[in-house]
Chains A and B, each alone.
Chain A
């Protein structure tokens, strides 16, 4: 009679306890079989990070914060449990930051080189580096940023209030006059710039051309200098001077020969002049109809007579061919 209640009560207690413990283990993601790898990071402070917050690597949830404790030197040690086989980035650091606007925090494991340029973060990391642990830094939470923003807004409001007090009607008029003056000045300046815009363009263009020319000249000079250098170093210049001496001697010899030829050419020219003068005299006589050739050239009657003679001769030849016996009487006996 007593055993049945004992069994039922015992069974109920055991089942409920097992279910509750299992649920706790599952919800807390407790590493029962010790299959996770653990890393420890040092922080100057951890903000609102808590046990159970996610550990992220490149945006992927890779573990959780297992424990947060104070170290002897005043630093805060954060123990992270990561999935087995998780590869940490090179030169890792841990950043604690809010993951949403609703108070959730996370530990982001990243490379030091990938950190944002933030002096505060660098200072925190420098302060906790060493001891073989991963250095960590905490980014300000939204509440702090909001508080700072609120303070800035308050300061701006105070400044605005003071400006409001100092900025009376007279100041407004002076400011308006100043603005008008400034407008006129700006207009004048713009006109001046427009007027000289073309000149400036031309000047600029010429300047650019000059600079380009100078550049080319400098380039050429540089090339020449290089060649001179190479010539000096290779003994080519000495050879060039020797060749130049020989060439000068040859040139002197050639000049002498040319002088002789020039003298001969002068005599030839004199004879040619004489020949041409005689020729001119002959042609002049011919043109004036003096002498036999002159008369032949200038009198057409000779041509006409000759032509008629040729005609008569051609008729004679034809006649001879046709009637040879008329003209030739060959008798042997």
Chain B
């Protein structure tokens, strides 16, 4: 009798997991289908791009600024006496463009953008504004979700690009000002192993992070139940899931794109 209950529990959990995957797939399908409703999402797109992207620019640049400085100092600390210091430029450029700018910016925006979307849509859900939109024949996916996803897809790479430039520039200035590395040495290091693939890789990764963060934030908001507590829970889970999604995507991109790539 007890064994049957255990088996039943396993089956139930499996079904729930599959249902969750099905829900997510259905959600993504609904958002994708909403792309056809251009008249609904187009007017919202630039507004969301500004809110999610342009307004997030300062935090992305701020993070990159200090990341570049710290990277240069760490590289110098690690290389002293063993590796020529112009490799500081190589390490800063490679690390910022390939990894730190996309991931750190993505995590920062997961907190800012993901929580913002989840809270906004969650509030609309609990106050039945979304139900009202549906009553007015508005597709909530086209009106609320798709413009945000599109803004995330477009603006995350823009913010990450600015972060890349800022991070390398900060590392450059820190190397000249704080380390015994000349400007020409730093530039030599940057150029030494530079590959435009690094930038492409970072920007594509940032775009995927933008899509993930906005999709997760919107889904958590749309699923909010109850009152303010439900909205808070939705915002929290949006940030957590977004952060996890960013790290998982980062690993997937590394395996898929970096593994086997020869510069």
Q: Which residues of A contact B (CB under 8 A)?
A: 2, 5-6, 8-9, 12-13, 16-17, 19-20, 23-24, 27-29, 50, 52, 100, 102, 104
Contact = CB atoms under 8 A, between A and B. Distances in A.
A287 B87 CA distance: 136
A24 B46 contact: no
B98 to A, nearest CB: 14
Interface residues of B, number: 29
Given A8-B50, A20-B164, 15 more contacts: A5-B46, A5-B49, A9-B49, A9-B54, A12-B54, A16-B158, A16-B161, A17-B161, A24-B196, A24-B199, A27-B191, A28-B194, A29-B191, A50-B263, A52-B194
Contacts of A23: 165, 168
Contacts of B165: 19-20, 23
B43 A2 contact: yes
Interface of B: 43, 46-47, 49-50, 53-54, 57, 83-84, 87, 93, 154-155, 158, 161-162, 164-165, 168, 190-196, 199, 263
A16 B43 contact: no
B234 to A, nearest CB: 26
A104 B192 contact: yes
Nearest to A25: B196
Contacts of A28: 191, 194, 196
Contacts of B43: 2
Nearest to A3: B46
A319 to B, nearest CB: 143
B50 A9 contact: yes
A83 to B, nearest CB: 16
B54 A102 contact: no
Contacts of B83: 102
Contacts of A20: 161, 164-165, 199
- Determine chain A's interface SS by DSSP, over half rule: helix
12 contacts: A5-B49, A6-B46, A9-B155, A12-B158, A13-B155, A13-B158, A16-B158, A24-B196, A27-B194, A50-B263, A52-B192, A102-B83
A167 to B, nearest CB: 41
Contacts of B84: 100, 102
A23 B93 CA distance: 12
Contacts of B190: 27
A208 B165 CA distance: 85
Contacts of B193: 52
A9 B53 contact: yes
B95 to A, nearest CB: 15
A209 to B, nearest CB: 67
B191 A52 contact: yes
A19 B162 contact: yes
A28 B193 CA distance: 10
Nearest to A15: B162
B53 A12 contact: yes
A76 B50 CA distance: 49
A29 B187 CA distance: 11
Contacts of A13: 154-155, 158
B261 to A, nearest CB: 13
Nearest to B48: A5
Nearest to B190: A27
A229 B43 CA distance: 120
B263 A5 contact: no
Contact of B47 (A5, A16, A19, A50): A5
A12 B57 contact: yes
Contacts of B199: 20, 24
A101 to B, nearest CB: 9
B42 to A, nearest CB: 10
A50 B194 CA distance: 10
B99 to A, nearest CB: 17
Nearest to A5: B50
A24 B84 CA distance: 24
A12 B190 CA distance: 26
Contacts of B93: 27
